[in-house]
């Protein structure tokens, strides 16, 4: 793509993938992708190749997050170039296969867009996950989705943090888009969550269709929540948690957490307060899968990003 | 109603982690062990983490659902090298807290569970005259003292020999089932409610043991009638999701014509049958047991005042 005056030009997005089952127990994506693999009528758009794909079939079959290692952390350069074939952990083998099919990551042959469908036990509602604040195409898409979905809420989480950013399945594409909808327990399919995901994906595909047909999207601003810090549970010397997310914080994703606010509650009833120096916006509060990743919640700050106008090259 | 006397309760076992991903019980038991909760007045208290391997793995079970291993048949089956872990573990627990059906069994066994269904706090028990009386009295006690969550009783009509769950090992027993909570998640509000319920139970037991007389009253209990599975295709895959009108509406009366499922192609499937109360609506662990929800009748029971029978 190249800048022409103030309008960024991108090639038409011809190859799009929809990933489900990156975590085998996050049921909305698994169900939607299985449905569309049987009957793709709902996701078809003219001039666009859309591939629904189950990324971690063994985990889906066992209804677990992963078999050997988290697939959504596995797409590091080290893993993608590792030798060892069958000896490699299952998800590393899968990452290499997915990189062959939809990448290679970073190359001109990579898929244009990948939507990766996820659920969370956190009360995050509909969330779009952005990996780069400089991707005008993705910013414009997210702006379009938010407006189309309104008055229902669809927020944008930006994870560009040099240490906390991780190598996702979708990162093999030129424009990776995470879709995270909750709260939903692992292994459970809720109709409201399922329908919401279906609708935001429809808006996303509509955007791509319009873009490919030559529509110009004028400059816009997008409110995002930028990941700042990972907050772990307080633990004892053996690594066991000694407190729980406080009832005042539980389910309050995206609401301000001020210095001095209750944050954790110990098992014998004491409150531990947030000691940060300024107000933050917590999210991924009490996500089941993150206990083992030492994360009770992440803090974010609100930012407004500007995106240039975009148009098909 | 005439006052009834009920045999004393000298010891109680509180169990958690029977399903390793139902976290409230795991952390309640650990906290009680840390606080060295061994006595409540004259009542002795034992706490047990029943399925430590499943807890360590963050799974409901490792080879077989532990809470289906307590039938007389499984408890007496010979142990060989190929015996499943949970069958072995059930026999160990039976030796520690039972044996089931004997005079040595613990007087009262309380097993702590969570569900992904919106069930509030339920006491699940098999009908047994004395158990009913004392448990129902506890329920009345909870209802009067636990304001933050609905409290209900569920009865499963199963004879002792066929009873498959852990609490059947005690002379009396019940499960405390609290939801909604996702597997692998520990919610502070639910932890606090269960801790309060156990504190109330131990308080009640102390009062009972010291001769206190409890007033009678009435309580509603739900009796299991049948389960309903998801509609499935010829390959056995579910073709629908619980309808939004039923989702989260456990214990709200279901009538013929009410929507229960929505197929993936958008059709609405309706309930046909007698008016009944759904529960365990969209419980994660029941997908593999082919259960979308259970249905129950509701009855009101009257109970007499009770006090302990002197030995």
Looking at residue A3, its pLDDT comes to 47
Domain housing A194: 8-224+307-312
Residue B113 binned pLDDT confidence (cut-offs 50, 70, 90): very high
Complex ipTM, two decimals? 0.94
Question: Do A89 and A218 fall into the same domain?
Answer: yes
Are the Cβ atoms of B243 and A188 closer than 8 angstroms?
Answer: no
d(CA B119, CA B250): 6
At B122, phi and psi to the nearest 5?
-120, 145
Question: Do A54 and A109 fall into the same domain?
Answer: yes
pLDDT in tens, A9-19: 999 999 999 99
Question: Do A91 and A212 fall into the same domain?
Answer: yes
Instruction: Give a yes or no: residue A90 inside a domain.
Output: yes
Question: Do A217 and A238 fall into the same domain?
Answer: no
Question: Do A244 and A195 fall into the same domain?
Answer: no
CATH number of the domain encompassing residue A18: 3.40.630.10
Number of domains in chain A: 2
pTM of the model: 0.95
Question: Do A117 and A250 fall into the same domain?
Answer: no
Instruction: Give a yes or no: residue A2 inside a domain.
Output: no
Question: Do A158 and A207 fall into the same domain?
Answer: yes
pLDDT in tens, B165-211: 999 999 999 999 999 999 999 999 999 999 999 998 898 889 888 99
Given the residues A61, A180, A229, A287, the one annotated as active site: A180
Instruction: Give a yes or no: residue A1 inside a domain.
Output: no
**Running DSSP on this structure, what letter comes out for residue A128?**
E
Looking at residue B130, its pLDDT comes to 59
Are the Cβ atoms of A189 and B35 closer than 8 angstroms?
Answer: no
Minimal Cα distance from A31: which residue of B? B264
A223 catalytic per annotation: no
**B4-220+302-308 belongs to which homologous superfamily?**
Zn peptidases (3.40.630.10)
Instruction: Give a yes or no: residue A171 inside a domain.
Output: yes
Same fold, B4-220+302-308 and B228-293: no
Instruction: Give a yes or no: residue A78 inside a domain.
Output: yes
3-class DSSP state for residue A154? strand
Question: Do A179 and A256 fall into the same domain?
Answer: no
For residue A191, give the nearest of B187, B247, B287 by CB distance. Answer: B247
Minimal Cα distance from B31: which residue of A? A267
Q: Are strands A297-307 and A281-283 parallel, antiparallel or unpaired?
A: antiparallel
Question: Do A99 and A190 fall into the same domain?
Answer: yes
d(CA A99, CA A169): 9
Q: Kindly report whether the peptide bond that precedes residue A104 is cis, defined as omega within 30 degrees of 0.
A: yes
Looking at residue B136, its pLDDT comes to 66
Looking at residue A4, its pLDDT comes to 46
Question: Do A115 and A218 fall into the same domain?
Answer: yes
- Sign of the CA dihedral with B199 first, then B181, A126, and A167 last: positive
Looking at residue A1, its pLDDT comes to 46
pLDDT in tens, B209-224: 899 888 887 777 899 9
Per the CB < 8 A criterion, the answer to whether B32 and B15 are in contact is no
CA distance A297 to chain B (A): 13
> Domain B228-293's class?
mainly beta
Residue A193 binned pLDDT confidence (cut-offs 50, 70, 90): very high
Sketch the domain layout of chain B as residue ranges: 4-220+302-308, 228-293
Looking at residue A5, its pLDDT comes to 59
Buried b (16+ CB within 10 A) or exposed e, A128-148: bbbbebebbbbbbbbbbbbeb
**Which residues of B make CB contacts under 8 Å with A?**
27, 30-31, 34-35, 58, 116, 180-189, 191-192, 241-244, 247, 262, 264, 282, 284-285, 287
Instruction: Give a yes or no: residue A165 inside a domain.
Output: yes
Give me the mean pLDDT over the B134-162 stretch: 79
Does pLDDT of A114 surpass 70? yes
Question: Do A61 and A160 fall into the same domain?
Answer: yes
Per the CB < 8 A criterion, the answer to whether B303 and B215 are in contact is no
Question: Do A211 and A288 fall into the same domain?
Answer: no
Per the CB < 8 A criterion, the answer to whether B279 and B119 are in contact is yes
CATH number of the domain encompassing residue A293: 2.20.25.160
């Amino acid at each position: 793509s190249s800048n022409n005056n103030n309008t960024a030009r991108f090639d038409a997005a011809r190859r799009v993938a929809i990933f489900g089952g990156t975590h085998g127990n996050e049921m909305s994506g698994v169900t939607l992708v299985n449905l569309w693999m049987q009957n793709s009528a709902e996701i078809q758009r003219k001039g666009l190749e859309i591939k629904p794909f189950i990324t971690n079939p063994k985990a889906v079959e066992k209804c677990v997050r992963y078999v050997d290692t988290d697939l959504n952390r596995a797409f590091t350069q080290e893993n993608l170039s590792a030798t060892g074939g069958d000896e490699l952990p299952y998800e590393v083998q899968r990452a290499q296969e997915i990189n062959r099919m939809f990448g290679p990551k970073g190359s001109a042959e990579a898929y244009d867009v990948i939507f990766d469908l996820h659920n969370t036990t956190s009360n995050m509602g509909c969330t779009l996950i952005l990996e780069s604040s400089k991707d005008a195409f993705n910013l414009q898409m997210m702006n379009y989705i938010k407006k189309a979905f309104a008055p229902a809420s669809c927020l944008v989480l930006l994870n560009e943090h040099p240490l906390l950013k991780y190598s996702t399945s979708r990162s093999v594409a030129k424009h990776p888009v995470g879709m995270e909808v909750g709260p939903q327990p692992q292994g459970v399919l809720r109709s409201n969550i399922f329908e919401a995901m279906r609708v935001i994906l429809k808006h996303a595909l509509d955007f791509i269709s319009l873009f490919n047909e030559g529509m110009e999207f004028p400059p816009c601003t997008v409110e995002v929540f930028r990941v700042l810090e990972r907050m772990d549970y307080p633990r004892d010397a053996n690594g066991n948690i000694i407190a729980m997310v406080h009832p005042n914080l539980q389910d309050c994703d995206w609401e301000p957490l001020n210095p001095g606010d209750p944050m954790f509650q110990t098992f014998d009833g004491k409150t531990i307060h947030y000691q940060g120096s300024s107000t933050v916006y917590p999210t991924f509060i009490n996500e089941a899968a993150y206990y083992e990743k030492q994360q009770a919640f992440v803090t974010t700050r609100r930012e407004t990003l500007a995106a240039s106008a975009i148009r098909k090259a | 109603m005439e006052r009834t006397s009920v045999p004393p309760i000298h010891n109680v076992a509180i169990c958690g982690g029977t399903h390793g991903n139902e976290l409230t019980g795991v952390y309640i038991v650990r906290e009680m062990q840390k606080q060295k909760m061994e006595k409540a007045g004259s009542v002795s208290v034992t706490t047990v983490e029943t399925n430590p391997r499943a807890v360590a793995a963050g799974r409901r079970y490792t080879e077989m659902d532990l809470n289906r291993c307590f039938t007389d048949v499984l408890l007496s089956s010979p142990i060989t090298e190929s015996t499943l872990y949970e069958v072995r573990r059930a026999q160990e627990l039976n030796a520690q807290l039972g044996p089931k059906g004997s005079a040595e069994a613990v007087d009262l066994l309380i097993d702590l569970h969570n569900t992904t269904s919106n069930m509030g706090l339920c006491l699940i028990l098999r009908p047994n005259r004395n158990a009913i009386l004392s448990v129902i009295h506890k329920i009345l006690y909870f209802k009067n003292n636990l304001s933050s969550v609905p409290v209900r009783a569920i009865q499963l009509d199963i004879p002792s020999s066929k009873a498959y769950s852990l609490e059947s090992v005690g002379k009396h027993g019940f499960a405390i089932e609290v939801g909604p909570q996702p597997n692998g998640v520990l919610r502070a509000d639910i932890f606090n409610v269960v801790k309060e319920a156990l504190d109330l139970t131990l308080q009640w037991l102390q009062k009972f043991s010291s001769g206190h007389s409890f007033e009678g009253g009435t309580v509603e209990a739900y009796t299991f009638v049948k389960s309903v599975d998801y509609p499935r295709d010829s390959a056995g895959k579910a073709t629908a999701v619980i309808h939004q009108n039923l989702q989260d509406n456990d214990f709200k009366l279901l009538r013929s014509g009410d929507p229960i499922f929505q197929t993936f192609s958008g059709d609405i499937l309706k309930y046909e049958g007698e008016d009944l109360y759904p529960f365990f609506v969209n419980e994660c662990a029941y997908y593999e047991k082919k259960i979308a929800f259970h249905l129950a009748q509701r009855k009101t029971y009257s109970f007499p005042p009770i006090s302990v029978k002197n030995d």
